[in-house]
Amino acid sequence: MAKIGFIGAGNMAEAIIKGIIDAKVYKAKDIIVSDIRPQRVKTICKKYKVTSAGDNCKLVRMVGTLVLSVKPQNMSQVLDEIKGSVGKNLLVVSIAAGITTKRIQKALSSVPVVRVMPNTPALIGQGAAALYATKKAQNRVKDVKRIFSAVGLAIEVNNEKLIDAVTAVSGSGPAYFFLLMEEMIKTAQKLGLKKELAEILVLQTAKGAGLLAVKAFINGQTPDILRKLVTSPGGTTQAALKVFSKRNFEKMIKEALNAAAKRSRELSGG
């Protein structure tokens, strides 16, 4: 594939850069980066042997695929800056939350755009990313999937509005699990466990449960089946689950995800 450029060299961009080099999707010499922080660019270039463009416009003219990995509040400024440098064959991939493909196309003269919602486990190669491609970008979906498959799972949705649901489920999802782990660790300490032991037990339990759920899913078993297998009548797990039920845990989850999806729509202008 032609060269790929990243405007914005934050943690997610770094995860993708590392992933595509390790997976041999791109060679380091074919990766160009820019960022408003010169020291950050210097660090990324030294660490991964990639190239600095010097400025955003120069970068755009050098690449066939452009990844916009800037903060959403900085997107308008970047789009305005690079619009005069965009060629007709450039593929634009945006991982900025709340920025629609329509907004990018309006600024960059209807270029092919793929909008992607990744999540933070991409930092360890275990991400979950959903992508939506405009009509002009359909013939490049395979290339974008290769990029994000290098840092985890990559799936395509056929309606951009579904990105709001993806944001609520997998984009924000890691924070929900982190919160549960955080509270379990706190309570474990109140039950008498030392902090280090509580952390080890909770984190390993979370890891094991996740891996077990994935393996079970491959074999056709859903999480509710696994939950029932752990729950003995009259046992300790049932006692805990009764509390969740009494506090209407199901309703809480629905409200939380709906709130996240609503906020995503608001940020997208929908």
Q: What is the pLDDT of residues 140-182, one digit of tens each?
A: 999 999 999 999 999 999 999 999 999 999 999 999 999 999 9
37 and 147, same domain (yes or no): yes
pLDDT at 45 over 90: yes
pLDDT at 204 over 90: yes
User: End of a domain among 108, 139, 167?
Assistant: 167
Give me the pLDDT at residue 81, please. 95
pLDDT at 88 over 90: no
pLDDT interval class at 270 (50, 70, 90): low
180 and 207, same domain (yes or no): yes
What are the DSSP calls for the chain, one per residue? ---EEEE--SHHHHHHHHHHHHTTSS-GGGEEEE-S-HHHHHHHHHHH--EE-SSHHHHHHH-SEEEE-S-GGGHHHHHHHHGGG--TT-EEEE--TT--HHHHHHHTTS--EEEEE--GGGGGT-EEEEEEE-GGGGGGHHHHHHHHHTTEEEEE-S-TTHHHHHIIIIISHHHHHHHHHHHHHHHHHHTT--HHHHHHHHHHHHHHHHHHHHHHHHTT--HHHHHHHH--TTSHHHHHHHHHHHTTHHHHHHHHHHHHHHHHHHHHT-
User: End of a domain among 117, 133, 167?
Assistant: 167
14 and 112, same domain (yes or no): yes
pLDDT at 228 over 70: yes
161 and 190, same domain (yes or no): no
17 and 75, same domain (yes or no): yes
139 and 230, same domain (yes or no): no
pLDDT interval class at 246 (50, 70, 90): very high
Give me the pLDDT at residue 54, please. 82
64 and 178, same domain (yes or no): no
Give me the pLDDT at residue 175, please. 97
Give me the pLDDT at residue 268, please. 81
Give me the pLDDT at residue 1, please. 64
Across the chain, mean pLDDT equals 95
Domain harbouring 198, CATH code: 1.10.3730.10
Number of domains in the chain: 2
184 and 153, same domain (yes or no): no
Domain harbouring 16, CATH code: 3.40.50.720
pLDDT interval class at 74 (50, 70, 90): very high
142 and 127, same domain (yes or no): yes
pLDDT interval class at 267 (50, 70, 90): confident
131 and 42, same domain (yes or no): yes
User: End of a domain among 119, 148, 167?
Assistant: 167
40 and 83, same domain (yes or no): yes
Mean pLDDT along residues 200-209 = 98
Mean pLDDT along residues 55-84 = 94
Q: What is the domain range of residue 54?
A: 4-167
Mean pLDDT along residues 127-151 = 96
43 and 111, same domain (yes or no): yes
pLDDT at 15 over 70: yes
Mean pLDDT along residues 190-209 = 98
